[in-house]
Amino acid sequence: MPLTGKSWLHRELFEIAYGRLQHMDLPLRDVDDAWDRLQRLRTVYGVQLQSLIDYLVATAGFWGHSAELP
């Protein structure tokens, strides 16, 4: 399940990072599987992380996760 709304993390940036890891000869999942898993993981923790950021009154953009918020 993809995240709703616009996200700074999109497939193109993911593939750039994935390619850098491949270049280092690290053992990696298939790129499509890795992207799908990342989307599912972000769906699970994103809301909870944002709640923690709001609770701590951390400035939007302080955390990479909230950099996509207006």
Model confidence over 11-25: pLDDT tens digits? Answer: 999 999 999 999 999
Q: Which of 28, 10, 48 is nearest to 2 (CA)?
A: 10
- The predicted-structure confidence for 44-68, as pLDDT tens digits, reads as follows 777 787 788 778 876 666 555 555 5
Q: What is the model's pTM?
A: 0.57
Listed in sequence order, the residues at least 6 apart from 63 whose beta carbon sits closer than 8 Å to its beta carbon are 49, 53
**Residue ranges of domains in the chain:** 31-70
